[in-house]
Each structure stands twice: as C-alpha cells, then as structure tokens.
Amino acid sequence: MDKGDGMRLETKATHVGHEPEPLTGSIVTPIYQTSTFVFPSVDEGAARFSGESDGFIYTRLGNPTLAALERCVSALENGEKAIAFASGMSAISSVVMAIVSAGDHIVADRCVYGCVYSLFSGILRRFGVDVDFVDCSQVAEVERAVKPNTKVVYFESPSNPVLKLVDMEAMVRIAERHGIMTVMDNTFMTPFFQRPLEWGIDVVVHSATKYLGGHGDVIGGIAVGPRELMDQIAETTQKDLGGSLSPFDAWLILRGIKTLHVRMERHEYNAMKVAEFLEGHKGVERVYYPGLKSHPQHELAKKQMTGFGGMIAVELKGGFEAGRTLMDSVKLCQLAVSLGKTTTLVEHPASMTHSTMTPEARQAAGIAEGLVRISVGLEHVDDIIADLSQALKKATGY
C-alpha cells in the first residue's frame, strides 16, 4: 500500500505515510527527532554512502518522518518520488538549480510569488542564468521566448496573487517539442483540486506552509517528479545547499494532510460565497476568482482543475486607499501574509508578498497597486462576509 495505487485521494491522504510503526504499533508516524543514525558496521556505513544500502545516514540526507511525508505527497500527486524541503522557496530553488547551469535560459511567468521573481531575476542571473518573464497564459509568447539554451518553463497556476491560469497541456506541448522541463507551482490548488503530473508537467513544487500543512504553524516545501530527476536533486542541491525540513515540521505537515480533502472542500465553499458577495458589492471594481463565470479563464479552470480553491483577489473602487482602509478595518479576518490556514487572511501584494518586484514588473504581471488578496478560511462563511461587509463600508462608503 506504499504508493497508494488504486486508492482515491482522500484515502491516500489518510493512509499513505501514516502506516502503523512496525516496532511498537504506534498508529501515528513517530517524529524521528534525530540528526544522525548509528551504523551497525563500517561496511554498512560505507554501503549507505555509496547507495548500495538504503538505510538512513544523517537527517539532512533523509529521515523516516520526512520519508513518510514524501511518500504521502508523491502518492497524492501521482508522482514517482517527492523530496521535502525546509520551505517552498528551498524546494523551488533546489529544483531549478539542479536543472540549470550558467549559460542556460529559463522562461518564467511574469506573475509569480515575489521571492521566486527575485530568485530568478536576482540570484540566478548573478550566476549566469538568463531569464525571460513572459505571460504564460499566452502560448505564442512562451513559444517566442524559447531559445536553444532554454532548460525550464516555470509557472504557477493559478498564479499568486491574480489567480491567472496557465494551460498545462499547451505548456507541455511546447516543452516536449523543444526538450525543455516544465516546473509548476501547485500551492494554490493542492493535489486535491489539480494534479499537474497527470497532464505531463515534469515537476510540481509546493509551499507546504500553505494548504498542505493547513494550520499556519509550519514552514515547509515539497517537490514531486520523475525518480531519476528527483534522485539527481537529492544528490546535488538538496544535499549540498542543505535546505532540509526538520522531522517535527515534517510531522506537522503530515498531520495536516490527513484532513486536506475536508479542508479544501470547505475553503472552496466559503471562497465561492465570498467571491459572489464581493462581485455583487457596489464598492468593488473587480474580483479575481477562477470559480466565477466572469473569470476570463473559467472554462480552462473547469477543464484542468476539479475545484477552484480558496484564494481570491479583489480591487476596490477607490484603489489603494480604499484597499488600505479595508485591510485596516477587518476584525475577524486577519491582516497577515501566507495563505491556506484555518483563519481568513487579507494582505496587500504590492507592499508585502510581491514587494520584491519593481512597480513595472508588477504592472506587467497585472498586479494592481490597490489589489487585496484574500485567503478564505474555515470560519462560518456568514461571519467572514459580515466582517468584510463592515470593512468595505468603511473603505468604500457602500
């Protein structure tokens, strides 16, 4: 039952990686809070280092609690192998830096999480990697940006923060034609609503800090992909850059995943109601939510996702000042970055999560200066709407 073959996602989330511990029968996967593992002999130690034996060596290189989490997420994404990391950024940087070298080229979507933008446009360029940011929802733009040295097409779908979708099938077609790898961030949807590997995407990355962990109490990341590539990542950037997850944090994420499907259904139910409320509000200029018929890619959303998730963005009449008043006036909703936790969070991308982008880069990505991002939580939806309603009245007069 290791890989969860034949099980539905809900069953994998509750069973894979959660097998009873064989020595004591503990029904919960233990936290192997250890830095290192005793070798029974020098020969066995050498065999583990050379890869001839698969026992554990040192927690930066692997640990049974991390391995349980990796088995679970790999099964959820229907992948061959997953690697857990200390953060989403560690997962993303380790995957991309294992694939590219100086002189290579990356095509990335213009609208990505702010630190991904600064990693690509700052650090990677400093190490001689060429990066072009394009609108990956425009297939021709991606095609035009591909060069003979392009190694990776990188995007989020839906993107943070404007919930723009990228057509996975179209990206895979381009990548296959040119022998390029596709790396996709599935943080917003989770494998409950979207499984990119089943569409031919090569590697899926997650900020496990968000919906996978689900409770706002842990920072972590995970990447899933083909065994050969994941082995290469494990032996290079994961090992040598050293962004490994702590066993306790792996355990928290594994515990969170047991309720992923239940939480995601409620996040989506609440988000749909909040999006409809906002769309009908007189003080609102525009609502971004893939579940709304007014979303320009609603049909694509229905094609490649099985739900629309819990993330919404909104622009108010009155722009930034109105948005600021809204965020300063919420009482139940909380003004904080991050997303995918139990409580509803509001934040201002231009000055917070996407402040590492230049104003021009934000404009090109379609991130209005007044945009407010909402991570809809698990409270009663009427209470969320009542809070937003009183804050909107202060912000817009309606």
Ligand X SMILES: Cc1ncc(COP(=O)(O)O)c(C=O)c1O
Binds ligand X by CB under 6 A, chosen from 150, 182, 207, 238: 207
Identify whether the C-beta of residue 217 lies closer than 8 Å to the C-beta of residue 195: no
Nearest to 84 by CA among 96, 101, 67, 100: 67
Query: Of the two residues 4 and 88, which places its CB atom closer to ligand X in the complex?
Result: 88
The separation between CA 159 and the C-alpha centre of its own chain, rounded to angstroms, equals: 10
Binding mask 336-375 for ligand X (x = CB under 6 A): ----------------------------------------
CB of 316 to ligand X, least distance (A): 22
Binds ligand X by CB under 6 A, chosen from 160, 182, 297, 375: 160
Binding mask 57-96 for ligand X (x = CB under 6 A): ------------------------------xxx-------
Query: Looking at 3, 60, 266, 393, which residue is catalytic?
Result: 60
Cα gap 214→339, rounded to integer Å = 9
Query: Of the two residues 209 and 304, which places its CB atom closer to ligand X in the complex?
Result: 209
The separation between CA 310 and the C-alpha centre of its own chain, rounded to angstroms, equals: 13
Please give the residues from 232 up to 291 whose contact with ligand X meets the rule CB under 6 A.
none
Query: Of the two residues 212 and 333, which places its CB atom closer to ligand X in the complex?
Result: 212
Query: Of the two residues 174 and 212, which places its CB atom closer to ligand X in the complex?
Result: 212
293 in catalytic set: no
Does 167 engage in binding with ligand X (CB under 6 A)? no
- DSSP H/E element including 284: strand 284-288
Binds ligand X by CB under 6 A, chosen from 182, 209, 246, 304: 209
Query: Looking at 109, 135, 167, 185, which residue is catalytic?
Result: 185
Nearest to 146 by CA among 108, 186, 114, 113: 108
60 in catalytic set: yes
Token pair for 65:
């609690």
The separation between CA 242 and the C-alpha centre of its own chain, rounded to angstroms, equals: 20
Cα gap 64→283, rounded to integer Å = 52
Token pair for 140:
């021709």
393 in catalytic set: no
Query: Looking at 32, 48, 110, 113, which residue is catalytic?
Result: 113
What residue is closest to ligand X based on CB? 88
Beta strand 181-185 with 203-207: parallel, antiparallel or unpaired? parallel
Binds ligand X by CB under 6 A, chosen from 175, 219, 223, 245: 219
- Considering only the C-alpha atoms of the chain, give the largest distance between any 2 of them, rounded to a whole number of Å: 75
Please give the residues from 183 up to 202 whose contact with ligand X meets the rule CB under 6 A.
185, 187
Which residues are CB-contacts of 52 (< 8 A; sequence separation ≥ 6)? none
Binding mask 110-149 for ligand X (x = CB under 6 A): ---x------------------------------------
CB of 155 to ligand X, least distance (A): 11
210 in catalytic set: yes
- DSSP H/E element including 99: helix 88-99
Cα gap 28→82, rounded to integer Å = 21
**SS3 category, 395:** helix
Nearest to 184 by CA among 88, 322, 313: 88
What residues make contact with ligand X under the rule CB under 6 A? Answer: 87-89, 113, 156, 160, 185, 187, 207, 209, 219, 221
Q: Which residues are catalytic?
A: 60, 113, 185, 210
